Amino acid sequence: MSENVQPVTMQQRGDIAIITIDNPPVNATSQAVRAGLLAAIEGADGDARIAAIVICCAGRTFTAGGDIREFGKPPLLPMLFDTCARIEACSKPVVCAYHGTALGGGFEIGLASHVRLAAPGTQLGLPEVKLGLVPGAGGTQRLPRLIGIPAALELAATGRFMKAEEALKLGAIDTIVEGDLLECAVDAAHAAIEKPMRRSGELPVIAIGAEQAQELLNGVKRKARGQEAPVIAAQLVLESASRTTPQGVVRERQEFNRLMETQQGRAMRHIFFAEREAARIPGLENATAKDVKIAGVVGAGTMGAGISVALLDAGYNVVVVEQNAEAAERGRSRIASIFERNVASGRLSEQAMTERMQRLSIGCDLMAFTPCDIVIEAVFDDLDVKRTLFSQLSAIVRDDCILATNTSYLDPNAIARDTSNPERVAGMHFFAPANIMRLVETVRAQHTSAQTLATALAIAKKLRKLPIYSGVCEGFIGNRLYSYYRRQCEFMLEEGALPHEIDRAMEDWGLPMGPFRAFDLSGLDIAWALRKRQAATRDPANRYSHISDRLCEMGRFGQKTQAGWYKYQNGKPVADDMTTKIILEASREKNIARRSFGADEIRLRLVTALANEGARALEEGITLRASDIDLVYINGYGWPAWLGGPMFQASEFGLPRILEEVQKMHARDGSEFTPAPLLVQAVKHGKPIDGSA
Ligand code: 3HC
């Protein structure tokens, strides 16, 4: 917005004042908008020629809420809750005309108005909890007065967007208008003149019983899994029954301000901007993605089936090829059973499942890929197998068909070597289950063209996933860092900790699953095979823990063999004396005097392992920014968004403390844990690791 342009303007049409907010890109309620809106309402209220008021927005959306860029800075008056109170108190009817996404403060402006209209397709909601906050302009007080406590509580605690139809049914809006929104709003304003005014804040709240209230709150606590904002949002909605709106708004504001300063609040704002930043990839500014209609998938095992489901869900025609007819048939049932589970849980209709299965063709002849715009390979992670496959594919598919590999550890440059034009090869590393996990590490190999990369990113986005750029290195971003994390987990065992203690420290911190439970779930055999491959080239000067090898030698591969780090009783992990015995032996063999570990030390040590290797990956250009690493861990490794990711947590511990910890690791565990120069520089200059954030 240029400085001379007013973000809020008022136009008079007969006796109706039309107030328009125009603050691209999403009409956020920044200070100038709040001040302009307040002045316009006061002006119209005091103007004898005006009988009613319309509030609408220019551009693609109604306001998407508070200006997040102002958050965490000293508040600038007027506050939106005051502006909303003024709208509600206006002596003339105020009609709010929603369109696009009316979120947070945007939705709240309407809740304070006297009549609410929405254009078809409008989405409304209170997503503040996704920023670690609660609504701050009366949302938790006015919404229950309009739609009742249970529905308001659910919306405020989840931050879910609702469609206009649902909002109408619940009573959050009065009408969905089919014609021109502004004309309809002006008509509604005329109709409201001299009718009794309905002020949401003055409506009674229909109270619910104490038992139901407790049940609702407990449900929110369970789902929040340690996140504070949803629980506070739910409490505020419940409290609306025992307070007047002005009293409730004061309480709401106290909580809004308090949460703004918490680590969770800062972490979630960091993640909001990180996600938008991740889409900016240097060198792709002028690249256009190819139009993709038909996608091929090689392999219909767990990964291939998951990828196929994601592609079918996104509307692509999908061609899957397996090794033989039986494998193809098994693949078809694997794909169908994922859809069937979604039908059984009510997430998908029978009809939608049938339509998706009709877009799938599955067989065992690679020639079926000839019409494809992209083929994604998801076969066994073996370099020779993949190289041969890519060479065969490049002879079959169209010259402009993109070839993507889903390898997790192999070198995409080596996979692309025998293809006729390696510029159309990229990595698309999905995470299991591929139809659910949001992360796709999108890998630029040595020859990958800008258009190939742009297309891979666009497809991942169309699958409603989060593509994160990665360069080529073993394990790409996520698994590369994870191997340092895994080793520190095992070293702590040798030094005195037990698996369940490390798991508890990380789970109490917010991870849905501690590292050892996660290792057991994904299986210990894959990492074992990798270690065996690397054994010949391993530097003996670096510390190596044999504990995991011992478990594997006993056939303990994790949950799938009913034993790994834990033993499993009815699918539940139980600490196992055998594991403890192996751990104690390992300490004895190395003459390590065992000691106890506190939760903070465990967290610091694991964050350090991730952050130091993250800094190295940054230095090498494997990853573009520290915040991308955070997104990888949140969307691929189960870290909750409110922890902000490992690089965010490294800053929270303080980079000097992280450096000190790496120096200890280096002295104790060998050169693999040498402090990353970027980390050393960051501490020296008192700056973030990549100078961003
Ligand atoms: N404040 C400041 N900037 C915002 C913003 C906001 N509330 N919402 C979006 N933007 C910016 C984005 O950072 C992005 O900027 P960039 O182009 O420089 O990266 C640009 O607007 C476009 O955003 P998206 O890329 O996300 O565009 P989409 O079309 O994909 O999504 C959206 C649009 C659904 C509005 C999405 O941006 C969104 O969910 N925004 C956040 C909405 C929100 O959380 N609102 C509540 C704010 S808190 C509040 O209202 C407090 C109140 O209760 C007092």
Is residue 169 in a domain? yes
User: Where does 47-194 show beta strands of DSSP type E?
Assistant: 52-57, 94-98, 101-103, 115-118, 123-125, 161-163, 175-176
Residue 553 pLDDT greater than 80, yes or no: yes
Residue 522 pLDDT greater than 50, yes or no: yes
Among residues 668, 487, 493, the alpha carbon closest in space to that of 596 is found at 493
Residue 625 pLDDT greater than 80, yes or no: yes
Nearest CA to ligand 1 atom 20: 25
Asked if 429 and 406 count as a contact pair (C-beta separation under 8 A), the reply is yes
Confidence of residue 5 (pLDDT cuts 50, 70, 90): confident
Helix (H, G, I), strand (E, B) or coil at 292: coil
Confidence of residue 21 (pLDDT cuts 50, 70, 90): very high
Q: Are residues 487 and 559 in the same domain?
A: yes
Q: Are residues 298 and 444 in the same domain?
A: yes
Q: Are residues 136 and 236 in the same domain?
A: yes
Give the pLDDT score at 526: 82
Q: Which atom of ligand 1 is nearest to the CA of 71?
A: 48
Containing 366, the helix (H) or strand (E) segment is none
How many angstroms does the Cα of residue 137 sit away from the middle of ligand 1? 17
The structural domain count of the chain equals 3
Give the pLDDT score at 112: 98
Give the pLDDT score at 362: 97
Asked if 523 and 560 count as a contact pair (C-beta separation under 8 A), the reply is yes
Long-range contacts at 514-521 (CB < 8 A, ≥ 24 apart): 515/485, 515/486, 515/489, 515/606, 516/489, 516/565, 516/566, 517/565, 517/566, 517/573, 518/638, 519/486, 519/548, 519/558, 519/564, 519/565, 520/558, 520/559, 520/564, 520/565, 520/566, 520/573, 521/558, 521/559
Residues 6+ apart with CB under 8 A from 237: 140, 143, 144, 149, 152, 153, 156, 157
Helix (H, G, I), strand (E, B) or coil at 293: coil
Q: Are residues 16 and 37 in the same domain?
A: yes
CATH number of the domain enclosing 446: 3.40.50.720
The two structure tokens encoding residue 527: 């990492």
Instruction: For the chain, give the mean pLDDT.
Output: 96
Mean pLDDT of 357-384: 95
CA 105, CA 215: separation in Å to the nearest integer?
28
Is residue 54 in a domain? yes
Is residue 276 in a domain? no
Q: Are residues 624 and 661 in the same domain?
A: yes
Confidence of residue 409 (pLDDT cuts 50, 70, 90): confident
Sort 657 into a burial class: Cβ within 10 Å, 0-12 / 13-18 / 19+: middle
Mean pLDDT of 641-655: 98
How many angstroms does the Cα of residue 278 sit away from the middle of ligand 1? 15
Is residue 1 in a domain? no
Is residue 674 in a domain? yes
Which of 239, 261, 283 is where one domain is finished?
A: 261
Q: Which atom of ligand 1 is nearest to the CA of 135?
A: 53
Q: Are residues 393 and 538 in the same domain?
A: no
Confidence of residue 589 (pLDDT cuts 50, 70, 90): very high
Which of 438, 470, 502 is where one domain is finished?
A: 470
Nearest CA to ligand 1 atom 39: 64
Residue 3 pLDDT greater than 80, yes or no: no
Give the pLDDT score at 364: 95
Confidence of residue 692 (pLDDT cuts 50, 70, 90): low
How many angstroms does the Cα of residue 128 sit away from the middle of ligand 1? 11
Percent of the chain scored above 90 by pLDDT?
Answer: 94
Give the pLDDT score at 429: 97
The two structure tokens encoding residue 167: 């909002």
Residue 490 pLDDT greater than 60, yes or no: yes
Mean pLDDT of 167-172: 98
Residue 693 pLDDT greater than 90, yes or no: no
Nearest CA to ligand 1 atom 18: 276
Percent of the chain scored above 70 by pLDDT?
Answer: 99
Is residue 450 in a domain? yes
| pLDDT tens string 333-354 | 999 999 999 999 999 999 999 9
Mean pLDDT of 597-620: 98
Q: Are residues 242 and 306 in the same domain?
A: no
Which of 443, 470, 497 is where one domain is finished?
A: 470
Mean pLDDT of 218-232: 96
Is residue 274 in a domain? no
Residue 275: CB atoms within 10 A of its CB come to: 18
Mean pLDDT of 73-94: 96
Confidence of residue 2 (pLDDT cuts 50, 70, 90): very low
Mean pLDDT of 61-67: 97
Give the pLDDT score at 529: 87
Asked if 659 and 675 count as a contact pair (C-beta separation under 8 A), the reply is yes
Q: Are residues 255 and 332 in the same domain?
A: no
Q: Are residues 450 and 502 in the same domain?
A: no
Helix (H, G, I), strand (E, B) or coil at 676: coil
Among residues 632, 656, 655, the alpha carbon closest in space to that of 644 is found at 632
| pLDDT tens string 282-315 | 999 999 999 999 999 999 999 999 999 999 999 9
How many angstroms does the Cα of residue 58 sit away from the middle of ligand 1? 16
Ligand 1, pocket residues at CB < 6 Å: 25-26, 28, 64-69, 80, 101, 103-105, 108, 127-128, 131, 135-137, 139, 276
Confidence of residue 1 (pLDDT cuts 50, 70, 90): very low
Q: Are residues 465 and 485 in the same domain?
A: no
Which residue carries 């573009």 as its tokens? 624
Is residue 283 in a domain? no
CATH number of the domain enclosing 226: 3.90.226.10
| DSSP assignment letter at 597 | -
Half-sphere exposure of 592 (CA within 13 A, CB side): 21
Which residue carries 């139009």 as its tokens? 291
The dihedral formed by the CA atoms of 368, 373, 379 and 381, expressed in degrees to the nearest 10: 150
Query: How many helices (DSSP H) and strands (DSSP E) are in the chain?
Result: 28, 19
- Backbone angles phi and psi of 435, in degrees to 5: -80, -10
Mean pLDDT of 646-667: 98
Q: Are residues 433 and 504 in the same domain?
A: no
Note down the domain range covering 385: 294-470
**Each residue of 145-160: b (16+ CB within 10 Å) or e?**
bbbbbbbbbbbbbbbe
Helix (H, G, I), strand (E, B) or coil at 683: helix
How many angstroms does the Cα of residue 272 sit away from the middle of ligand 1? 8
Q: Are residues 647 and 513 in the same domain?
A: yes
CATH number of the domain enclosing 636: 1.10.1040.50
